[in-house]
Structure 1
Amino acid sequence: MKKAITVWFWVKILVPILLVLIGLLFFFLVVINLLAGGGSDDSQVCYPSNNDTSAGAGIGGDWKDSHSKTHKAMQAAADKFKNELHMSGDNIAAALAIGLRESQFNPKAENPSGQVKGIWQWGAGGVNGNRYKDTQDNVDSQVNLAIKELKSSHAATLTHMYNADLTHSLEAWDVHFEGVAASDPQRKSTQTLATAQKVKQVFKLDFSGSLTDLTGGDANTAQGGATLNPNNCPPATGTSSRLPIKGQYNITGGYPNYQGAGGSPHYGVDFQTVGAKESGDASNVYAVADGKVYAKASDATGGNNVIIKNNDGNYTYYGHAPSQESIVVNKGDTVHKGQHISHQGQTGLATGVHVHFGVNKKKPAFAPQSDGLVSGGDYLSKVPRKAVPEKGQTVPAGPFSTDQDKDKK
């Protein structure tokens, strides 16, 4: 009899109570997870490489509704960009579309790791450095921060937006403000372009701009501007913000001529670390962007040299290494921005220890007047303005320091 009562007690009373408690626990776990995840906050998502959408699909939300807070915030940003920077409609549409992609244009958006935040997900400390600083979590303060950076530390963004269409405006903002390579899948290029086209239509951004061509080469490319949680995603591919040397240095030869306008054909930029010999850390040469070693060779002009095909599609050349062994990477190796790849030297046609740096946007060809060659002073955003008197030219100058944030005029 006692055993029957015990079984009845478990079946009729304890089991239902346990089932109710388990159900309540599950419910609370779901609620807590939603609260911690911030609802639909896009900044918490790690975008995989296949997350791009088909042509024509854009980013959703209430931003098309003229009565919504998001629409009003975007309109305020558009007006400021137009009035204060004289950006074109395409430039502005790109900036607004990327703001939608990064945060749904939410000034309170924050990466769960706490390392990026705001509309355009600035670095807020940690591995990204603190670009956000004391900026307030509101639209006006953050648009002001963007304008301040576009006028100073990230002026390369406007340089590349100069006369740019919508596609190239998106690329300029992503590469030089957000800090990702043009080929990086986190750009969600198809979806963002579709969004930008709609933004242009909704906000009536069909007008030309009057941006000054800011090409001077001293503006930093973005550091830590991506929304991705660095704990969940692989690092973004490299950009062209780094220099091939570190420390105190001089530019001893320029583009397109060795000693400026009256010199012999050169079509590269010579970087010479102060006091560098042919070995030791002072002579180290560093990759300026992520990429893969395309060739490692030697010839009578460039001496021992290495060519890297960067992830942005450009080819970069580092010449005059002391020996093949002093080039510490090999053909096919994957390299990262800032990685030690070679040493400064004076093999080939060279009169002193240095590295000859060249850039070709079309093919691995670096002889004078090769199709696709561009000035390293234009390509490298941290070359001081004193050495880049005008677009397409770099002249001998210095000394400079790779630690300086901007020109000391």
Structure 2
Amino acid sequence: MKNLKWWLTGLVTAIVATGAIVGVMIFLLFSSVLNGGKDCDSSDNPSLEVSTGVSGSYTDKNSAEYKNGKAIFEFLTKEMGFSGAGAAGAIGNAIGESGLKLHNPNPGGGVNGLFQWSGWSNTINGSRITSEGSIKAGDESTLTLENELKLVKYELTHGYSKVKHLVGKATDVQTATKNWFLYYEGMVGNEDQFGNLRETGAQWAYKEFGGSAITANDNILNNSIETTDASQRAQNDADYAQCGNGNDIEVSGEWCWPFASVPKEGPKLVGEQNYGKSDSRTNGYHDGVDFGDALYSGDVRAIHSGKIVKIMKPNDSGLGFYLIWEITDDGYGIAYQEFASDMSDISVKEGDIVNAGDKLGVSRKGDIGINDTHLHLGITKEKNLQKALSKVFVDDGTWLDPVQVIKKGMDNSADK
């Protein structure tokens, strides 16, 4: 259900034709519309992905943006011990997020800064921007290059230390860029939002700042202060809190998670994987949840007993992916979609009766945790598939929060 990227393609053409000033106005208007009136968590990284080539003020050596990019590169390679590839990957993401601008707020998402940290004008997506202490929410005078680099260092040596090693030791620019996107930007399960600007920007930085001549400095990387700061980890989790509906409906029968590796208490979902408010989708709404293959892959299981009524292929009714549609005896429609690369990944056929836990197919993990075939799971009380699909971007109660529905079903079964 990720048709927004096709919408953006048309928007890009309009922006280029009418000039950069109009483009900025459109983007700001677009952001405010998507975020208006919603109160559920979503990605804290709304991207400025409006180009597919190396362009913009950051390529001008006299611009503030160019100087910011160079400062990030030198900070990561010299102070943090990053390889040239790793530093370039981080810069590519900053280009995609903010255009390398220190102050580039998104009022709806409450984010700001080089990497669009949450907590600037509101805490709807958490409060990462104030976690180090130097930057004060809403105080532009504290949003300096020095303070933003302090924040990057604080996060890389605290709750995001995984990123420091994974990206810092990278020898491939593409891998570094995607891993920063996944684990620093928190976009696991939303790989389709990666776009082109991050990677082209990273390749530009790699060449511009001589990245090929710089290897990771293990002494600096390994000696950097690291901690499993409990309060920081708790804040990281809070930044991606779930919300949505599903508690006000009756559920019956046996339920289970779509992957055996999901613990009883539920999956770890971050940012735009969650149901509800979405900064990237049409009308700011996500009709289900995404199980990113970086955490969840392998056999996809039926979450409830029912009948496989329809299996849709790419281009059926305008879809761009495979979809399994299950109808249950107690009135649910369940959509398992986007996990299959082709029909060989699907183990059932139309007309099959399945029980909770039965294998429906397999989701294959990508080589570096990047794969367009993550599982999107949707649950609705609308049994007519076409009617349900017509409401995928409409927050009117047609689609329910799958996490809440499954949890309630599992709790009810345990009580019996």
TM-score if structure 1 supplies the norm length? 0.45
More helix by share: 2
More strand by share: 1
Question: Which of structures 1 and 2 has the bigger CA Rg?
Answer: 1
